[in-house]
Structure 1
Amino acid sequence: MEAVVKQESQTQYRILYFICAAHFLQDLLTSVVPAMLPVLQTSLSLDYARLGIVVMVANITASFFQPVLGSVTDKKPAPWLLPLAALFAGVGLTGLAVADSFTEILLMVVLIGLGSATFHPEGSRVAHLAAGPRKGLAQAIFQVGGNAGQAVGPLMIPLLFLPFGLKGAYWLLIPMLLGASALTVVARWYKNWAGARKKSGQPVQGANRYGALSLLVAVVSIRSWIHSGISSFLPLYYINAVGMSTKLAEVYLFVFLFAGALGTFVGGPLADRFGKKSVLLFSMVGSIPFILVIPYLTGIWALINIFIVGFISLSSFAVSVVFAQELVPGKVGMVSGLMIGFAIGAGGVGAAVMGYFANSIGIAALMEMLLILPVLGWLLGIRLPKDRTAQAPISTSA
C-alpha cells in the first residue's frame, strides 16, 4: 500500500517521455491516411465523396472502439495491448502498398484504425497513472506526442508517397518497429504498477457526473469536425481551387497540425491558471475570425492564419481529457476513449458529410461553412459546469 501511495505522489517522467514518443510514432502512422487523400485521388480516381468515406472509416474504426476497449480495461488492465497496437498500424500501412482497389484501401484503413483504437485508451491511462499530482501536465506531455505525430505524418506524402507511390508505405515499418519497442518498455512498467495496485486494494473515490460528460463529448465532437474538416479538405482546397502544388499544400497542412501540437502543450498550463472550461470555450470562440478568412488569404498570410487556427482550436485537446477524467473519476479508460476516440471519430463522420457538401456546393463554399461549427461549440460549451465544481479526487484505478 505504501509503495503505491508513494508512486502516486510522484510524477514518473521517464514513462511519460516513453509514452509521448510512442504516441508520436503511432499517430504519425495513422495520420498518413487523411494526408494521403490527394495521392489516393490520383492513383484510384476517387471523388470527394469516396475520399470522405476513407476518412470516415479510418476515424470510426480508430475512435468508436476506444470507449469499449477502455471500459473493458478499466476492469482488467491489458498492458500487452500497447505494443500490439503498433503492429496493427504497421501491417495496415504495409497493406496499402499493395492495395489496388477502393475496397482494399478500406480494409487496410480498418486495420490501421484498430491499431489506434487499441493504443489510445491504455496510453492515456498510462499517462494518468504516471502523472502523480500533475495530471494536466502529464496529459499534455502524452497528447503533444500524438499531435506532433499527426503534424509530421503529412510530410510522409512528399517524402515517401509522391516519389514511390503507395509502395512508399513500406518505409513506415521503421517507425512501427520503434513504436513497438517503446511500448514494450511502457507495458512492463504498467504491468508492474497494475500488480502492485491490485494488491493494495485502494478504492476509487468521487462521484461520476455522466450528464456533464455527455455535454463535454458533444463539444469535443464539434471541435473534431472543425479539425477533421480542415485537415482533410484544406490540401484539396489549395490544390483544386487555388492551384497550389501537392507538395506545398501538404506543407500548409503540416503547419496547421504542428500548431495544434503546440496549442495542446500550451493549453495544459493555461487551464491550470484560468480553468479547463475557460480554455475549452476559448478554443471555440477564439478561432472564429481566423476560420472566417481562410478562403480569402494566400501566401504567407494564409500560412500564418492557418497556424493560428490550429494553435487555438487544439489548445483544449489535453484539457478536455483531464476535464472528463475529473467528471467521471472511476472510469479513466472509458472517458479517455470517449475524449480521444469517440469524439474524434465524430470528426470522421463529419468528414464524410463534408465530402458530399464539397461535391454539391464546391470545396471553396465548404471552407466558408466551417465557420458555423465553432459558434455551435461555444453555445454548447457555456452550459458546462465550472471545473471547480468537479472536485472529486481523480482515481488512479487501472
Structure 2
Amino acid sequence: MPRNKTIIMLSVGHACVDIYQGAVASLVPFFVAERAYSYAAVSGVVLAASLLSSVAQPVFGVLTDRRAMPWLLPVSTLLGGLGIALSCLSGSYALTLTFVAVSGVGVAAYHPESARVARLVSEGSHSAMGWFSVGGNVGFAAAPLMVTVVVASGGLRLAPLFVVPALVGSVLCLPVLRALETTERGGSGGAAGTGTDDKLSFVKLSLAVVCRSIAFIGLSTFISLYVKQRLGGSTAAGTVALFVLYLGGAVGSVLGGSLAGRWNRVAVARWSYLVSVAAVAGVVFVPGPAIYVFVVLTSAGLYVPFSLQVTLGQDYLPTRVGTASGITLGLTVSIGGLAAPLIGSVADATSLRTALTPLILMPALSWLLFRTLPEPAAPKLMAAARQTGDDTDAELSPSRDHR
C-alpha cells in the first residue's frame, strides 16, 4: 500500500479513537444538566478517563517495544467507543466513572502502537507524522458535534450511537494491518532506530508536554461552561467554543509539520508556547465574543508542537520508540486530566475564572523547558521501513522535510 494512503487511513483511524477523548469533556455540560453533577463531580469524570490511561500508556509502550501488536488498533478502538456509550447509559456515578475509565484504557492501548506503525510507515517524516496527528485533532473537534447532535436528539439514552465511529475506525485498521503483515513477519517489531538515548532531554520534553496537557485539558473540561457563563448564552455557545478549541488543533498540527521543514522542531515549539501564554490569558480575561479569537489562538499555539513532540521523543529515545510514543503521545497528555479535579474544586469554592487563571503559567513553563532542549539528529530507520520513495512526502505536504 502506498505510504500516503496508509498515513491517511491511520489518520482517519486516529480520529475515530480520539473522538472518545474529546467526548469526555463534551459530555460535561450534559452531565451537569441531566444529572446535576457539581464542578468537582464532572472533574472526577475527566480524572477517571485520565487516571488508568496515564498508567496504561507507558506499559503498552514498553510492550510494543518488545513485540509488535498491530491487533491492538482495532481492539482498542472498539473498547474506547463502548466505554463512552456505556458511561452515558449507567445511572450510577460509580459506574459512569468505571466505564469512562474503560474507554481511557482503550485510548491508552491505541496510541503507542499506532505511533509506532505511523513512524514505520512514514520513515520519521515530520510532515507525515503531522498528518497522522491531524486525525486525532479532527476526532477531538468532531466530539462536541457528535455529542450535541446525539444528546440533543434524545438525551443520553441515545448513547449507543456513540459506538459508530469505533466500528468505522476498527474496520479501517484492517487494510493497514494487512499491509504491515510482510514487514512485521521479519520479527523486528517496528521502526527501531540506531543511536544513543538522551534520557535527560526526554525527561525535560515530557515535563513540557505535561504542562501543555494541564493547560489544554483544563480548558477543554471547562471552556463550554465558562463561555456560556461569560456570554450569558446557551449551551450551544459553549459547544461552539469547545469545537473551535479542538478544530484549531488540526490546523496547528499541519502547520507544525510544515514549519519544522523550515526551522528545527525545538525552535518552532518554543515560539508556539510563547504565543500560547498570551492566548490563554486572553481566553481567561478578555470579555465578549472576542473570547473566540483567543480560543483559536490557544488551540493553534498548543497544537503546533503536538506532532513535533512525538517525533522529538522518538529521536531522544531511538532505541525505545514505543515507550517514547506511549509517553509523549499518551501518558503526558492523559496526566493533564489529573489536575482537572483540583481546578473543579477551586471553581466550586471561588469562580471558574479564578480556577482557570493558573493555566496561563503552564505554556510559560513549557517554553522555559524547551529553551534547554537540543534539536536531535533523526536516527536512520531500519531498511524494512522503506515502502516508497521520498516523493510521497510531496503528496502529503507542500514543504519537504530536511532530515
Q: Is 1:96 aligned with 2:87?
A: yes
Contact persistence 1:44–1:102 (CA under 8 A)? no
The normalised TM-score by structure 2 is 0.90
CA drift of 1:298 comes to: 4.5
1:244-268 deviation line (CA, Å, top 9, x unaligned) = 2111211111011101121011101
CA drift of 1:202 comes to: 10
Residue 319 of structure 1 aligns with which residue? 308
What is the SS of the residue equivalent to 1:26? helix
Q: Which runs of 4+ in 1 moved over 4 A?
A: 201-204, 394-398
* Structure 2 gap segments, 5+ residues each: 386-403
Alpha-carbon distance in 1 for matches of 2:44, 2:255 = 33
Residue 245 of structure 2 aligns with which residue? 256
CA drift of 1:397 comes to: 8.5
Residue 150 of structure 1 aligns with which residue? 140
Residue 297 of structure 1 aligns with which residue? 286
Residue 138 of structure 1 aligns with which residue? 128
Contact persistence 1:330–1:397 (CA under 8 A)? no
* Counterpart pick for 1:239 among 228, 242, 265: 228
CA drift of 1:197 comes to: 5.4
Deviates more, 1:211-220 or 1:240-249: 240-249
Residue 33 of structure 1 aligns with which residue? 24
Contact persistence 2:54–2:332 (CA under 8 A)? yes
Contact persistence 2:115–2:325 (CA under 8 A)? yes
Q: Is 1:174 aligned with 2:129?
A: no
Alignment map for 1:191-270 (pairs within 5 Å): 191-196=181-186, 198=188, 204-270=193-259
Alpha-carbon distance in 2 for matches of 1:339, 1:29 = 19
Give the counterpart letter for 1:212 in structure 2.
S
Alpha-carbon distance in 2 for matches of 1:360, 1:280 = 35
What is the number of equivalent residue pairs in this alignment?
385
Give the counterpart letter for 1:167 in structure 2.
R
Contact persistence 2:130–2:254 (CA under 8 A)? yes
CA drift of 1:219 comes to: 0.3
CA drift of 1:234 comes to: 1.0
Contact persistence 1:88–1:115 (CA under 8 A)? yes
Residue 325 of structure 2 aligns with which residue? 336
**Gap change, CA 1:316 and 1:396, over 3 Å in 2:** farther
Contact persistence 2:117–2:191 (CA under 8 A)? no
**Gap change, CA 1:396 and 1:364, over 3 Å in 2:** farther
Contact persistence 1:79–1:188 (CA under 8 A)? no
Contact persistence 2:193–2:379 (CA under 8 A)? no
The normalised TM-score by structure 1 is 0.91
* Counterpart pick for 2:65 among 56, 71, 74: 74
CA drift of 1:36 comes to: 0.5
Deviates more, 1:307-316 or 1:94-103: 94-103
Q: Is 1:164 aligned with 2:154?
A: yes
**Gap change, CA 1:27 and 1:376, over 3 Å in 2:** same
CA drift of 1:372 comes to: 1.6
Residue 8 of structure 2 aligns with which residue? 17
* Counterpart pick for 1:355 among 344, 347, 351: 344
Matched-pair identity in %: 29
Residue 391 of structure 2 aligns with which residue? none
Residue 364 of structure 1 aligns with which residue? 353
Q: Is 1:120 aligned with 2:111?
A: yes
What is the SS of the residue equivalent to 1:287? helix
Deviates more, 1:13-22 or 1:87-96: 87-96
Contact persistence 2:78–2:163 (CA under 8 A)? no
Alignment map for 1:36-75 (pairs within 5 Å): 36-75=27-66
CA drift of 1:285 comes to: 0.8
Contact persistence 1:206–1:394 (CA under 8 A)? no
Alpha-carbon distance in 2 for matches of 1:220, 1:392 = 22
Give the counterpart letter for 1:149 in structure 2.
G
Give the counterpart letter for 1:15 in structure 2.
T
CA drift of 1:366 comes to: 2.0
Alpha-carbon distance in 2 for matches of 1:215, 1:308 = 25
Contact persistence 1:329–1:393 (CA under 8 A)? no
Q: Is 1:84 aligned with 2:71?
A: no
Alpha-carbon distance in 1 for matches of 2:71, 2:264 = 35
Alpha-carbon distance in 2 for matches of 1:95, 1:391 = 43
**Gap change, CA 1:36 and 1:203, over 3 Å in 2:** closer
CA drift of 1:377 comes to: 1.8
CA drift of 1:311 comes to: 0.7
Residue 4 of structure 1 aligns with which residue? none
CA RMSD of the aligned region, Å?
2.1
CA drift of 1:157 comes to: 2.8
1:200-246 deviation line (CA, Å, top 9, x unaligned) = x9984111111110110000110111111111111111234542211
* Counterpart pick for 1:187 among 174, 177, 181: 177
Deviates more, 1:44-53 or 1:144-153: 44-53
1:167-222 deviation line (CA, Å, top 9, x unaligned) = 232112221111110012222223332113549x9984111111110110000110
1:149-173 deviation line (CA, Å, top 9, x unaligned) = 1011011232011332212321122
Residue 3 of structure 1 aligns with which residue? none
* Structure 1 gap segments, 5+ residues each: 1-6
Alpha-carbon distance in 2 for matches of 1:107, 1:300 = 37
* Counterpart pick for 1:393 among 358, 368, 380: 380
